[in-house]
Structure 1
Amino acid sequence: MNKKLMGLLMAFVLLSGLLAGCGSATTSGKDKNHIVIGAAMPVFDDKWLSYLYDGINQYDKEHKNVEVKMVDAKNDSSKQMSQVDTFITQGVDAIIINPVDTDAVEPMVNAANDANIPVIIVNRAPSKKVLKKIYAYVGSESLEAGTIQMKKVAELLGGKGDIGLMNGTLGQESVVKRTQGNKDVVKENPGMKIVREASADYQRSTGMTLMENWIQSGKHFDAIVANNDEMAIGAIAALDEAGKRGNIIVAGIDGTIDALKYVKDGKLNVTAFQDAFGQGKGAIEAAIDAVKGKKLKNNFINIPFQLVTKDNVDEFIKKWEK
């Protein structure tokens, strides 16, 4: 009889421990002194995105009650899905996702919603359907970037010229929208024509290789317009090496510190500054608001693009020096 009683007591203790564990994992962030945020990022080896991560990590360092668990999907959507599942199992209070592929993010959002964990998507815009399922999207309007970029190029060309268009990684929302903005402006300027268009995968080295191929084709260009700064810098390197730069206008997007130095030196004519640090900070602030139950009137938190030329580049360089 004593053995049975001892066994029942032990079972009761174990059950109590399990229930306590479950309770702690699901406790609302509103009542917690310690908030845990899962951050599922697409790839750590990306210069521009590293500034976005800095915005998240800086907030983490300045707030002792906030803990960020940041993971690298290595540009693999299935790996990112697994990482989000792990965050859900761990019972994090909110999840920030910068999707490897925006077309693959919905199952991640659905899984988090099923666990009552708010989701914030940053930088890469989800579909309208997914936007309705998340707490907030924090990013910049890519259509605006492509538009202001090409408008400045059109101004510099006097509305006439042959354009080489470098696309980023195909399928990404930013590529679709930035390119659409470019082409909308070209349509408004009958004297401008896109004579070459290809993907350089958002990479400097690939942009250089693509530009080398275009040079070898013997095609004439008045401007090279790239979906990001890295490809534009690659194009500049190829043109310089071949002695073909001349008066060719080169334009990028993002306003990385490398690109701003190229603008200051007169090598890159145009870029559109995308505030990576501001997006990261905005994403984690939105995550904290979500945990605290704050209601949003509009769940698209826009961090606007700003046009950069040699005339105003110094003010943007200062932003990176903070």
Structure 2
Amino acid sequence: MPMTINRRDFTVGALTAIAAASGLTVAVRAQGTKTIAVLFDGLYSEFWVAGIQIIRDDLKKRGFEIMEAISDQDDNKQFEQVRAAIARKVDGIIIVQTDSNAVIPAIKAANAANIPMVHFNRPPAETDAFSVAIQADNQKISRDAVTYSCEVAKASGKKHKAAILIGDLGDPNAIQRRDGFQEAVDKFPDAIEVVAKIPTEWNADTAFAGLTNALQANPDISFIFTSSDFLIPQIQQALKSADKWYPVGDEKHVIFTGFDGFPDAYALMKDGYMDACGVQNLFYETELAIQAILDLQAGKKVDKLLLDPGFAITQKNMEEKKEEMWGYVLWKAKNAG
């Protein structure tokens, strides 16, 4: 399926404007005959800020009206926002919920109103109510990225002690990323020994404390995987404190693999501090989400789960793949000129 996003229109200034409105419910209007509600639970990382902006850009180019709302991770507030969208008789709803079970009444309400609902990057719990989920193939993406780093470890000729920073295990994305990591390292028993599985609960302070403790208990850790790039600052701080922050080629370099595709991840890869990163293709996920709504409106059958295969960006393929990396697009705009 072709991607219709013009990456040159995706600017840091636009993202900043979105972030400034993160606590507000806003409506952005364009000329058109369709209205799509875009309901996010928050803009608490660059990933979600980028996601909502890419969706906005695509909808505007199609001439659609956009109804936006942020629920601040409040399930009840989001349900009221869904009801408001239904009352406005929107043509479709793109939603990011906080709780996979709590969103089910909203799905049922949308079903009753015959309004298509698409979950962006975070699927709901199993239910008889119908909606479509767009999700990255987290397990495959993390497996591919970690496999590359395992090959780097194997080529070094020594066995590496590894640590994984695990996300909130109430989030299926975190579970799948953990499992992809494990699948990869299991294939390299002579090169990788996992000595630390660090729970983060998607909390930066928890991640920093956990990694710091792991490095103290295992000072020879030389292989790290983070389940999300938003933890990069904490990982960098912990590794610097342990005298382990060195680029590729230095004998003290810690083989470092990320996940998501943040601008920080691209910058670290460019500078040689990160070996690989599993990238969610936000441009493709947006295309899938909008097309799903249009297909459902047209009476076409759409699967309940549509996967973004994503990709691993590595030190070997970085120049070839970087234009598909949403974080590179942000980084390039910020560093233009």
TM-score (norm 2): 0.77
Structure 1 residues 101-140: aligned runs within 5 Å: 101-127=99-125, 129-130=126-127, 133-140=129-136
Q: Distance between the aligned counterparts of 2:263 and 2:77, measured in 1? A: 30
- Which shifted more, 204-213 or 287-296? 204-213
Render the CA deviation track for 1:119-162: whole Å, top value 9, x for unaligned: 111101334x34x6434222211111221122122212219422
Please provide the CA RMSD for this pair. Answer: 2.3
Q: Distance between the aligned counterparts of 2:141 and 2:233, measured in 1? A: 18
Q: Distance between the aligned counterparts of 2:120 and 2:84, measured in 1? A: 19
Structure 1 residues 33-48: aligned runs within 5 Å: 34-48=33-47
Q: Distance between the aligned counterparts of 2:237 and 2:315, measured in 1? A: 19
**How far apart are residue 206 of structure 1 and its match?**
4.9
3-state SS, counterpart of residue 285 of structure 1: helix
Write the letter of the residue equivalent to 1:149. A
Match of 2:56 in 1: 57
Q: Distance between the aligned counterparts of 2:204 and 2:178, measured in 1? A: 18
Write the letter of the residue equivalent to 1:156. V
Q: Distance between the aligned counterparts of 1:203 and 1:34, measured in 2? A: 42
Which runs of 5 or more residues in structure 2 are unaligned?
1-31, 246-251
3-state SS, counterpart of residue 68 of structure 1: strand
- Poorly superposed stretches of 4+, deviation over 6 Å: none
1:145–1:305 contact (8 Å) kept in structure 2: yes
Q: Distance between the aligned counterparts of 2:234 and 2:97, measured in 1? A: 25
Q: Distance between the aligned counterparts of 2:301 and 2:105, measured in 1? A: 24
Match of 1:289 in 2: 295
2:167–2:202 contact (8 Å) kept in structure 1: yes
Which runs of 5 or more residues in structure 1 are unaligned?
1-32
3-state SS, counterpart of residue 67 of structure 2: strand
**How far apart are residue 233 of structure 1 and its match?**
4.5
TM-score (norm 1): 0.80
Write the letter of the residue equivalent to 2:36. I
Write the letter of the residue equivalent to 1:169. D
Q: Distance between the aligned counterparts of 1:243 and 1:173, measured in 2? A: 34
3-state SS, counterpart of residue 40 of structure 1: strand
Larger Rg over CA atoms: 1
Do residues 262 (structure 1) and 243 (structure 2) align? Answer: no
**How far apart are residue 280 of structure 1 and its match?**
2.4
Q: Distance between the aligned counterparts of 1:200 and 1:74, measured in 2? A: 21
**How far apart are residue 45 of structure 1 and its match?**
2.6
Do residues 301 (structure 1) and 306 (structure 2) align? Answer: yes
Count how many residue pairs are aligned between Structure 1 and Structure 2. Answer: 286
Q: Distance between the aligned counterparts of 2:68 and 2:210, measured in 1? A: 34
Match of 2:184 in 1: 185
Write the letter of the residue equivalent to 2:199. S
Write the letter of the residue equivalent to 1:250. F
- Aligned-residue sequence identity (percent) comes to 24
Change (3 A) 1:149 1:307: same
Match of 1:147 in 2: 143
Q: Distance between the aligned counterparts of 2:105 and 2:81, measured in 1? A: 12
1:160–1:189 contact (8 Å) kept in structure 2: no
Change (3 A) 1:193 1:274: same
1:203–1:230 contact (8 Å) kept in structure 2: no
Match of 2:238 in 1: 238
